[in-house]
Amino acid sequence: MSNPQKPQVMVGISVRKDARPAVETLEAIKRRPQTEDGRHYEFAVGLECEARREDMLAADYGPDFIEAIREQKWKGLYLWDEELNKKALAVFDCALGRPIYEGFSYGAAVNRLMLLAIAAGAKYLVRFDPGTGVSCLDELVKHHIATMERTGAKVVSGQYSRRLALRTDFIIVRRIERYLELVRKFTGINPRRGKQVTGGAGFTVAPDGPPAMPFQGARVWGSDDGYFKTECPGQALVQTRIEVLRAKPGVSMEVKDYVARVANMVALHELSRTGNKERALRKARSFAEGLVPLVKAGTDFSPQAVMDSREFQIAKLRPGLDNYASLNENWAAVIRAFRASALVNQARIFQEGG
């Protein structure tokens, strides 16, 4: 019989300053009392955000979001807000590798949700992006966990039903395949359907690792999902049986800035292979130049604009790689430090039976 104080799975969502997208996403994640073969899962919710809890509660929708999640019959709610992040920075020993930094990075968002799953006592984290949904969460979880148990995979994700994880809206339609191959060639991540591990499409990982790669002040496309195929060869898989609906796009940004985030991964891929910063810079520029004949007419884009974008942060990639080497090796010690701290109780909003 399941223990209501120990949800088996945490559904994790990252939001910015407003909880409404998370509540709407949770409404679109359909559950059943049990799977077709009689399995039963209990789910808690983990929210990771860039605001303080007080500010979220003070917003127009704030007073309602906790009650809304209760009414949806989730077993618990855990929140990693700006204040908790500041306290956590003082808990984690730099020598172990930083799982988080001040401010946002893709990898740090995953690590915060993994730590919330540990706080809840969950065995697995299943991550969705705001604006997504799934026809049956229980069946998706069953397939992902079964795949991990059968194959020894560390990470399993689904895929979106009507789009790729990679933006293609600024690419000439008949040249999208060339674009996908360019991204694969330069980043080492294959963005085609059924190939790319996707962080917002039911990305499933056990909280005991591996962690994701965080960066201080750099947003690196694929570092929270697609990169796992590089980090864990043969142990990061995509299942396509149950697709994840995505009705809304991600955060809107200029094309040059989005491409700069992909160029960060291009540079990271080269740095991880050769350690040569100058070669990494040349690779990033070559990637941006390769996009010129693929981009739709009228798009505000140029290779130089990509290299000049504030999103292109090549100087911060080597420190991120070095930090990740320590973090990956010492993740169990990071977990122990977290469990021994007051952060576990401070993250809990409510827990059924607790």
Mean pLDDT in consecutive groups of 10 residues from the start of the chain, 354 residues:
61 88 89 66 92 76 77 92 94 92 92 97 95 92 94 95 92 98 97 94 95 95 94 92 80 92 98 96 98 96 97 97 96 96 94 72
Give yes or no for a contact between 344 and 61, defined as CB atoms under 8 angstroms apart.
no
Give yes or no for a contact between 44 and 75, defined as CB atoms under 8 angstroms apart.
yes
Residue 56 is predicted with a pLDDT of 75
Residue 2 is predicted with a pLDDT of 41
CA 124-125-127 angle, to 5 degrees, is: 150
Residue 3 is predicted with a pLDDT of 43
DSSP annotation of 175: G
Which class for 28: exposed (0-12), middle (13-18), buried (19 or more C-beta within 10 A)?
Answer: middle
Buried (b) or exposed (e) across 111-146, using 16+ Cβ within 10 A?
Answer: bbbbbbbbbbbbbbbbbbbbbbbbeebbbbbbbbbe
Q: Which domains does the chain have, with CATH numbers?
A: 9-343 (3.90.550)
Query: What is the distance between the alpha carbons of residues 51 and 29, in angstroms, rounded to a whole number?
Result: 24
Residue 54 is predicted with a pLDDT of 81
Query: What is the distance between the alpha carbons of residues 210 and 219, in angstroms, rounded to a whole number?
Result: 19
Overall size of the chain counted in residues:
354
Residue 134 is predicted with a pLDDT of 93
Neighbouring C-alpha atoms within 13 Å toward the C-beta of 268: 31
